[in-house]
Amino acid sequence: MPIRFQFRLIPFIVMLLLVALGLSLAQWQQRRADEKIARAARLQAGNLAAPLALRAAPMLPQDAQAIEYRRVTVTGHFVPAWTIYLDNRPYRGQAGFHVLTPFQIEGSNMHVLVAQGWLPRNNADRSRIADYSTPSGTVTVQGVARLTAGHVMQLGTAARLAPQAIVQNADIGQLAQASGLAFQPLLIEQTSPQSATLPVRDWPAPDLGADKHRGYAFQWYALALTAFLFFVFTGCRRAKKSV
C-alpha cells in the first residue's frame, strides 16, 4: 500500500525554520565544545612544559594567546602604588577580592599585571582591605599566563580605575591608560613563592565543560529531527484522513 502524504506550505516553512534553527544552534554548541577541548589540551601542555621566562620585549596579542595557560616566570619588582582589587570574587563560599598589582620587568619600563591572590572581604566595612604583604625589591615570581582576570556582572556604574580602587572588572588596556604604565597583553596568576598568610593563591581551574556543550548540541539536533518527523507524520495523517 503506497504511503500518502498531504503537503501544506505553512507547516513546511515552519518545519524548515525549526530545522535550520536547531542545526545552527547545535553546530554553535559543538564549536564551543571543540574550543574547550582545545583549551584543555593547551592547559595540559602548559602544565607539563617547563616555565617560560617572560621578557620585556613588547608582545603582540597573538603572542600572548599562544602562551595562555603556560607556566611563566618573571623577574623584577612590584609597583604596589597601582594595586587594584577585583570585587565579587568568592573563595570557598566566602566573599572577597582578587589582588592585581603591576610588576615592572627587570631592566625595563615594561610591566606585567600580576594577580597576587585572594583576600577576604570585611563584612562590616567593605572598603577595608585585609592586611597582606607584597614583596619589595627584586623578586622572581612564577605563575600561569592568562589573557584576562575574568569578568563578573557589573553592579551599577563602573568605578574609575585609580590606585587602590575596588572595582568589579579591570581590563589591562584600561589600566595601562589610567596609570600611564606600559603593560604586556596578559596577566600572571601567581603561584609562587607561596605565602603562609594572605593573599591566598589557590586559583580555580578554568571552566572547561565540553560535555555540557555536547549535551546542548544533542538537544538542538533532537529539536531539528523532531520538527522534521512531526511534519512528515502530520502530512501522512492528513492524507489518510482525506481518503
Question: In this structure, are strands 166-167 and 84-86 parallel, antiparallel, or unpaired?
Answer: parallel
Instruction: Quickly tell me which residue has 555540557 as its cell.
Output: 212
Q: Which of 77-91, 94-108, 189-203 has the lowest mean pLDDT?
A: 189-203
Which band of pLDDT confidence, cut at 50, 70 and 90, is reported for residue 155?
low
- Of 204 and 24, the structure prediction assigns the larger pLDDT to 24
Residue with cell 585585609: 130
pTM: 0.74
Q: What is the pLDDT of residue 24?
A: 94
Is residue 144 exposed (0-12), middle (13-18) or buried (19+ Cβ within 10 Å)?
buried
Please tell me the CATH code under which domain 52-192 is placed. Answer: 2.40.50
Residue type, 86: L
C-alpha cell at 226: 523532531
- pLDDT, mean of residues 116-123: 93
Considering the chain, what percentage of its residues have pLDDT values greater than 90?
A: 62
Give the model's pLDDT for residue 191.
Answer: 92
- Spatial neighbors of 239 by CB under 8 A, at least 6 apart, are 4, 5, 6
pLDDT of 44 = 73
Confidence of residue 172 (pLDDT cuts 50, 70, 90): very high
Report how far residue 111's alpha carbon sits from residue 187's, in angstroms, rounded to the nearest whole number.
Answer: 10
Kindly state the cell numbers that stand for 233.
507524520
- Closest to 119 (Cα-Cα) out of 157, 90, 152: 90
**SS3 letters across 91-137:** ECCECEEEEEEEEEECCCCEEEEEEEEEEEECCCCCCCECCCCCCCC
Q: Choose among 109, 105, 51: nearest CA to 78.
A: 105
Is residue 159 predicted with pLDDT exceeding 80? no
Q: What is the pLDDT of residue 83?
A: 97
47 — pLDDT class (breaks 50, 70, 90): confident
Q: Spell out the alpha helix ranges (H) of the chain.
A: 9-48, 61-66, 172-179, 210-242
- Asked if 115 and 52 touch (Cβ cutoff 8 Å), the reply is no
Cα–Cα distance measured from residue 54 to residue 145, given in angstroms and rounded to the nearest whole number: 10
| Domain ranges across the chain | 1-48+217-243, 52-192
Digit-coded pLDDT (tens) for 28-44: 999 988 887 777 777 77
Task: Determine contact, residues 143/190, Cβ cutoff 8 Å.
Answer: yes
Give pLDDT, residue 243.
62
pLDDT in tens, 190-212: 998 877 788 999 987 766 667 88
Residue 43's pLDDT is what? 73
